[in-house]
Amino acid sequence: MKEPLRVLVVDDTVIYRKIVGDVLAAMEDVEVAGVAHNGKVALARLPFLKPHLLTLDVEMPEMGGLEVLEELAGSWPDMGAIMLSSLTRRGSEMTVKALELGAFDFIPKPEGRTMEENRKAVEAALVPRVKAFARQREVRSALRRARGGAFSSPAGKPPSAGAEVRKLSKSGERAGGRSEVVAIGISTGGPNALSVLLPGMPGDLGAAVLVVQHMPPVFTQSLAQSLDAKCALRVKEASEGDVVRPNVVYIAPGGKQMKVASGGPGGRCFLRVTDDRPEKNCKPSADYLFRSVSQVYPGRATGVIMTGMGSDGTLGLRLMKRAGCPVIAQSEETCVVYGMPKEAVEAGVVDVVAPLDRLAGEIRKTVQSGRGA
């Protein structure tokens, strides 16, 4: 019989402990191991409750979510955490820090008028993330068995090495020459992965980097500020009308769509930040960005698809591929969730699959030498 996923609910608010607990209790193959009203109580209960996953409020009295994550990293490295965060600047900053510390993912605390509205919002956001965490545990367990127990990585943190670069096509030299733009689509596990990838890029990369990270409003600005402090490249949240400049990373604003357009000042390309509809329930959407890049930079851009749930990005990458652009995917071994890259690989639009620690090098090849991926 399959072992249920044991989850400890940690929140200082009775209402949210009730809502989250009810949502989890209704899930198949999930067991609510217990509840705790702050991080200190949660840590004290870990030895006998032995949960696989915590739902963890970011801000709590006595001991908050960040302190709990630091303790987990040292003493319970295989235990995962999904954060619940308020939609505030402080909440977003703390959540980005939590993701960088290895939290699997986060959901924003809803602000509905009724408890039922909040329950439905929590259910819609939490259930797919819990299922994705359960699948990740199964994948890592299978990899561990295949490697004779040698595989080990903290929950929510992909291993940074150990996998090889795989060439899936023989594209050779590209007629379009070097890439002027690198377009990245990423979701679950993204902040941690980006904090590895982007600092690996030189400050004189010679190309602009456009990033769609699935996040709500406010959070993307906090992510941009956090990454900017770590990178030689400048990192900023994109704004309407931004001229696309080399050596700058533009992160799509949460809750908006971002695309590139031609015909800006001096004939330069610029960014459009729009309120267009979601695509595949994503806003921002990687497909939306990739589609515009295929039109404005045919043969002169690199598509990158990284860790995340769902299939966002595959349709846009298909267009980039047809336009003569190389496509690179993050390897399964180093993804927190091998969803978006898997869909692109299985669709046959990926040229190279690379582990996280070698992605920057593969991207630089397309930018600096003009070689196909």
d(CA 348, CA 339): 15
What Cα–Cα distance (Å) separates residue 153 from each residue in 73, 74, 137, 307, 368? 10, 12, 11, 16, 33
Rg (CA), the chain: 21
Residue 353's contacts (CB-CB under 8 Å, 6 or more residues apart) are 165, 166, 168, 328, 329, 330, 331, 341, 345
H or E element, residue 95: helix 89-100
Cβ atoms 224, 251 nearer than 8 A: yes
- Which residues are paired to 9 by β-bridges? 35, 55
Amino acid at site 96: V
Least Cα distance to 132 among 290, 304, 342, 282 occurs for: 342
Q: Which residues are catalytic?
A: 187, 214, 312
3-class DSSP state of 304? strand
Residue 339's contacts (CB-CB under 8 Å, 6 or more residues apart) are 132, 187, 188, 308, 309, 310, 311
Q: Is 263 exposed, middle or buried, given 0-12, 13-18 or 19+ CB atoms closer than 10 A?
A: exposed
Helices 190-197 and 219-228, interaxial angle, to 10°? 20
